[in-house]
Amino acid sequence: MLILGKNGDEKGTQLEELTHSILDRLGYTNIVSNEIRTGGEEIDISAERQFQALRGEQRIDLICECKAYQKPVDINAWLKFLGKLFTAEKSRSQVVYGCFVALNGVNGNVAGHYKDLSLRVDNIELVSGESLLKHISNIYTLCDLEKVKKVIQIFTNRQALSFEEIAYYKNKVFRIITFEGNSYTLLSSNGEPISRAVFDSELKNAVQFVLPAISFIDLQEEAEAIKRATRAQKFVMSHLLLNNGSIEINSILCESEFTSEEIIKAIERLQEQAWLYRSNDSEILLLKDEDGPGLYTILTEIYRFLLAGDMTDSVLEALASEYYLSHINEDFISQIQQIQGGMILSPEEVQQVILLLKWSPTALAWSLYPNEMLVNYSVQKDLVDMDVGERGDLLCRNYFLSVLYVIFKSNFRRPELHNHFYNIHGLREIETIERLIVKSHTGIEFQGELELRQAIIPLDMGSDAEQLVMAIPFNSSSEPWESTSESIHESND
């Protein structure tokens, strides 16, 4: 438990404010901070609490001493507090309750004295920082550690060393996350990262007084930096594919929205992955040799990277490149079959898969990762007889193809992919014919067939502007190779 403050005095004030909030939550009233009593004694916090007893309404008086010291409190401060408590009791001729709040605990002398005193009186309480945490959780909603860990994973690749430290400042609580390399970040009580702007304007001086030797990390800045670095890597790899696996570095630098430093770092990162290499004069980037071993294994890794997260314009362009289209072939499908546990496809099905993966980026992305059902079947396949195995092979093929169909149809409807399908691949329409048969224990209860056509058409926006949109042609409408977009609109009017 940390109390933040720009100096020692403010830390003490913050601890008093927190204690004030806790007492208010516990039902105390007339809470006064820094009360000066007869003789000049200063009471950090005084309060009272009413309760109903058999003889009528009674009142408990309470005084609190708050110590936000960096080190455990010593015996002198403890005895001074007991003197204040003694004076309060004598002046009021009644028992007064005392609460000594020591943020970082007390030393051995104080602990021993408190233990002996507790055997004789019950109106004195010693509260440490750990005890304050229990009260804080009742006042402020703190997100659990699982959410904290997920937030860290979303925003940074850094290795977190600790998640548990709680800090208080100006009626707000924060989680302090420390990382390797003497760095840290702050999360609000609900788990939101604190930005550098908020940190600099509201928290910087207070935190640096308590944690002077480590530096603040803005998770939002870092997440954006990671995204930008990833986009730069995708930019480099996409342009390498667009240029058939060979491109001059200067050409990338000239065409890039990124700085020279960002591009060079991106190239270095891609080289570390062994996805590309430089020519002998270091001026040209090259993909792996066509005749070299493991080409399709490397392409699998490259496509996984390009298709992860946001799909940039450069990636979409690369997925229509001559290099890409020529390498979505039988050898690449064989690689996918191995990923899926050695799944068997007929020659006709291989050609279907080639077309679907050339067209649909998301279908490609899905096929590049092992599917649990397909892989589990391949493991158990040798345990069943041949007839069952053949039926299982057929089931796996049908399942694999059906998922590709569904993903392709979903991609076709996505506005951001309309140009990809319409202008790059020349696709205009998909037609789905679905037959539904409902069966009970006595027979067929229902059967019907649904035919649906979905088309991408250009919509004239005026001033030579054109927007691609989805349209639903009638079943009686002419086919796309027989009609223009205008005739589709006429058919639907």
3-state secondary structure 48-80: EEEEEECCEEEEEEEEEEEECCCCCECHHHHHH
- Report d(CA 162, CA 392) in Å as an integer: 49
Phi, psi of 174 (to 5 degrees): -135, 155
How many CB atoms neighbour CB 322 within 10 A? 12
pLDDT score recorded for residue 483: 62
In whole angstroms, give the CA distance from residue 333 to residue 368.
Answer: 10
- Predicted pLDDT at 211: 86
Q: Which amino acid is at 162?
A: S
How buried is 185 (Cβ within 10 angstroms: 0-12 exposed, 13-18 middle, 19+ buried)?
buried
* 103 and 151, same domain (yes or no): no
Domain boundary among 98, 115, 136: 136
State how many domains the chain has.
4
Contacts of 305 (CB under 8 A, 6+ apart): 233, 234, 237, 273, 275
Give the pLDDT of the chain (493 residues) as one tens digit per residue: 889 999 999 999 999 999 999 999 888 999 999 888 777 788 999 999 887 666 667 788 899 999 998 899 999 999 999 999 898 888 888 888 999 999 989 999 999 999 999 899 889 999 887 788 888 888 888 888 899 999 999 999 899 999 888 999 999 999 999 998 889 999 999 999 999 999 999 999 999 998 887 899 999 999 999 999 999 999 999 999 999 999 999 988 887 889 999 999 999 999 999 999 888 888 888 887 776 678 999 999 999 999 998 888 899 999 999 999 999 999 999 999 999 999 999 999 999 999 999 999 999 999 999 999 999 888 777 666 656 668 888 899 999 999 999 999 999 999 999 999 999 999 999 999 999 999 999 999 999 999 999 999 998 766 666 789 999 998 888 999 886 544 554 444 3
Domain boundary among 187, 217, 247: 217
Chain centre distance of CA 162? 18
Q: What is the DSSP letter of 106?
A: B
Containing structural domain, residue 85? 2-136
372 plus 399 within the same structural domain? yes
Contact 195, 225 (CB under 8 A): no
Give me the pLDDT at residue 489, please. Answer: 44
| The pLDDT value given to residue 134 | 83
With contact defined as beta carbons under 8 Å apart, do 49 and 27 qualify?
yes
Q: What pLDDT sits at residue 40?
A: 75
Q: Give yes or no: residues 333 and 434 share one domain.
A: no
The 3-class secondary structure across 361-385, one letter per residue, is HHHHHHHCCCCHHHHHHHHHHHHCC
Beta pairing, strands 96-102 & 124-128: parallel
Q: Does residue 347 share a domain with residue 433?
A: no
| pTM flag (> 0.85) | no
Q: Do 81 and 23 share a domain, yes or no?
A: yes
**Which of helix, strand or coil describes residue 158?**
coil
- 48 and 115 share one domain: yes
| Confidence (pLDDT) at 493 | 39
Q: Is 373 exposed, middle or buried (0-12, 13-18, 19+ CB in 10 A)?
A: middle
* Co-location of 418 and 432 in the same domain: no
Last residue of a domain, one of 404, 425, 446: 425
- Which alpha helices (DSSP H) does 102-193 contain, by range? 108-118, 129-139, 145-155
Taking every pair of Cα atoms in the chain, the longest distance, rounded to a whole number of angstroms, is: 104
Question: Do residues 419 and 468 share a domain?
Answer: no
Identify whether 367 is part of a domain.
Answer: yes
CA dihedral 407, 408, 409, 412 (to 10 degrees): 120
- Please state the separation of Cα 3 from the chain's center in Å: 28
Whether residue 258 lies inside any domain: the answer is no
Do 439 and 346 fall within a single domain? no
Q: Do both 100 and 62 map to the same domain?
A: yes
| Residue 414 amino acid letter | R
